[in-house]
Structure 1
Amino acid sequence: MKYAYINNQKFEIKEGETMLSFLKRHKGENAVPTLCDAPNLDPFGSCRVCSVDVALEENGNSKTMASCHTPVVEGQYIYPDTPSIKSLRKNILELVLTDHPLDCLTCEVNGNCELQTVAAQVGIREVRYPAGDNHLDREKDLSHPYMTSDMSKCINCYRCVRACDEVQGQMVLSMAGRGFDSMIIKGQDETFMESDCVSCGACSQACPTSAISDVFQSKAIEATEKTRTICTYCGVGCNLEVSTSSGEILSIQAPYDAAANGGHTCLKGRYAFKFYNHPDRLTSPMIKRNGEFEKVTWDEAYDHIVSEFNRIKASNGPDAIAGISSARTPNEENYLMQKFIRAVVGTNNIDCCARVCHSPTALGMQRSFGTGAATNSIEDLDFAEFILVIGANPTDAHPVTGAKIKQRMMKGVPSIVIDPRKIELAKYATYHLQLKPGTNVALLNMMLYYIISESVEDKAFIETRTEGYDEMKAEILKLD
Structure 2
Amino acid sequence: MNTAYIDNQEFEIKDGETILSFIRRYKEKDLVPTLCDAPNLDPFGSCRVCSVEVALEKDGPVKTLASCHTPVSAGQHIYTNSPTVKALRKNIIELVLTDHPLDCLTCEVNGNCELQTVAAQVGIRDVRYPEGENHLQREKDLTHPYMTSDLSKCINCYRCVRACDEVQGEFVLSMAGRGFDSHIIKGLDQSFMDSDCVSCGACSQACPTSAISDVFQSKAIQATEKTRTVCTYCGVGCNLEIATTNGEILSIQAPFDAEVNQGHTCLKGRFAFKFYDHPERLDSPMIKRNGDFEKVSWDEAYDYIISKFQYYKEEFGPDSLAGISSSRCTNEENYLMQKFFRAVIQTNNIDGCARVCHSPTALGMQRTFGTGAATNSIEDLKHTNCIMVIGANPTDAHPVTGAKLKQFAM
Tell me the TM-score normalised to structure 2 length.
0.96
**Aligned counterparts of 1:369 and 1:313: Cα–Cα separation in 2:** 39
1:210 positional shift: 0.4
Which is greater in Rg?
A: 1
**Aligned counterparts of 2:128 and 2:102: Cα–Cα separation in 1:** 14
Partner residue of 1:147?
Answer: 147
Partner residue of 1:187?
Answer: 187
Partner residue of 1:75?
Answer: 75
Q: Secondary structure at the match of 1:117?
A: helix
**Aligned counterparts of 1:16 and 1:192: Cα–Cα separation in 2:** 38
1:41 positional shift: 0.3
**Aligned counterparts of 1:51 and 1:25: Cα–Cα separation in 2:** 17
Partner residue of 1:228?
Answer: 228
Q: Which amino acid aligns with 1:290?
A: N
Q: Kindly indicate whether the alpha-carbon contact (under 8 Å) linking 2:221 and 2:250 is maintained by their aligned counterparts in 1.
A: no
Q: Secondary structure at the match of 1:256?
A: coil
Q: Secondary structure at the match of 2:29?
A: coil
Q: Kindly indicate whether the alpha-carbon contact (under 8 Å) linking 2:198 and 2:267 is maintained by their aligned counterparts in 1.
A: yes
Aligned sequence identity (%): 79
**Aligned counterparts of 2:408 and 2:332: Cα–Cα separation in 1:** 36
Q: Kindly indicate whether the alpha-carbon contact (under 8 Å) linking 1:19 and 1:70 is maintained by their aligned counterparts in 2.
A: yes
1:447-466 equivalences under 5 Å are none
Partner residue of 2:114?
Answer: 114
**Aligned counterparts of 1:387 and 1:149: Cα–Cα separation in 2:** 36
Q: Which amino acid aligns with 1:353?
A: C
Partner residue of 2:373?
Answer: 373
Larger mean CA deviation between 24-33 and 39-48 belongs to 24-33
Residues 73-114 of structure 1: per-residue CA shift (max 9 Å, x gap): 222221111111111111100000011111111111111100
Partner residue of 1:202?
Answer: 202
Cα distance change, pair 336–71 in 1 and its aligned pair in 2 (3 A): closer
Partner residue of 1:258?
Answer: 258
Which structure would you say has the larger RCO, counting Cα contacts within 8 Å and 6 or more residues apart?
A: 2
**Aligned counterparts of 2:342 and 2:88: Cα–Cα separation in 1:** 73
1:237 positional shift: 0.9
1:79-478 equivalences under 5 Å are 79-313=79-313, 316-409=316-409, 411=410
1:368 positional shift: 1.7
**Aligned counterparts of 2:159 and 2:347: Cα–Cα separation in 1:** 57
Q: Kindly indicate whether the alpha-carbon contact (under 8 Å) linking 1:111 and 1:221 is maintained by their aligned counterparts in 2.
A: no
Q: Secondary structure at the match of 2:31?
A: coil
Cα distance change, pair 332–177 in 1 and its aligned pair in 2 (3 A): closer
Q: Kindly indicate whether the alpha-carbon contact (under 8 Å) linking 2:161 and 2:174 is maintained by their aligned counterparts in 1.
A: yes
1:128 positional shift: 0.3
Residues 32-89 of structure 1: per-residue CA shift (max 9 Å, x gap): 1100010000000101111111112212211111111111122222111111111111
**Aligned counterparts of 2:100 and 2:213: Cα–Cα separation in 1:** 16
**Aligned counterparts of 1:295 and 1:191: Cα–Cα separation in 2:** 47
Unpaired segments of 5 or more residues in structure 2? none
1:361 positional shift: 2.4
Q: Secondary structure at the match of 1:102?
A: coil
**Aligned counterparts of 1:332 and 1:386: Cα–Cα separation in 2:** 33
Larger mean CA deviation between 50-59 and 124-133 belongs to 50-59
Residues 214-258 of structure 1: per-residue CA shift (max 9 Å, x gap): 011100142111111111111111111111112211111111111
**Aligned counterparts of 2:215 and 2:121: Cα–Cα separation in 1:** 29
1:356 positional shift: 2.5
Residues 410-444 of structure 1: per-residue CA shift (max 9 Å, x gap): x2xxxxxxxxxxxxxxxxxxxxxxxxxxxxxxxxx
Structure 1 ranges of 4+ moved more than 6 A: none
Residues 292-337 of structure 1: per-residue CA shift (max 9 Å, x gap): 2111122332333234334444665544432111122233332332
Tell me whether 1:12 sits opposite 2:12 in the alignment: yes
Unpaired segments of 5 or more residues in structure 1? 412-480
**Aligned counterparts of 1:62 and 1:361: Cα–Cα separation in 2:** 61
Q: Secondary structure at the match of 2:389?
A: strand
Cα distance change, pair 3–314 in 1 and its aligned pair in 2 (3 A): closer
Q: Which amino acid aligns with 1:391?
A: G
Partner residue of 1:475?
Answer: none
Q: Which amino acid aligns with 1:131?
A: E
Q: Kindly indicate whether the alpha-carbon contact (under 8 Å) linking 1:54 and 1:65 is maintained by their aligned counterparts in 2.
A: yes
**Aligned counterparts of 2:263 and 2:207: Cα–Cα separation in 1:** 13
Partner residue of 1:60?
Answer: 60
**Aligned counterparts of 1:4 and 1:314: Cα–Cα separation in 2:** 76
Q: Which amino acid aligns with 1:182?
A: S
**Aligned counterparts of 2:91 and 2:64: Cα–Cα separation in 1:** 15
Q: Kindly indicate whether the alpha-carbon contact (under 8 Å) linking 2:186 and 2:192 is maintained by their aligned counterparts in 1.
A: yes
C-alpha RMSD of the superposition? 1.6
Larger mean CA deviation between 343-352 and 154-163 belongs to 343-352
**Aligned counterparts of 2:52 and 2:342: Cα–Cα separation in 1:** 68
Q: Kindly indicate whether the alpha-carbon contact (under 8 Å) linking 1:253 and 1:270 is maintained by their aligned counterparts in 2.
A: yes
Q: Kindly indicate whether the alpha-carbon contact (under 8 Å) linking 2:249 and 2:277 is maintained by their aligned counterparts in 1.
A: no
**Aligned counterparts of 1:339 and 1:257: Cα–Cα separation in 2:** 34
**Aligned counterparts of 2:133 and 2:230: Cα–Cα separation in 1:** 47
Q: Secondary structure at the match of 1:371?
A: coil
Q: Secondary structure at the match of 2:305?
A: helix
Q: Kindly indicate whether the alpha-carbon contact (under 8 Å) linking 1:240 and 1:253 is maintained by their aligned counterparts in 2.
A: yes
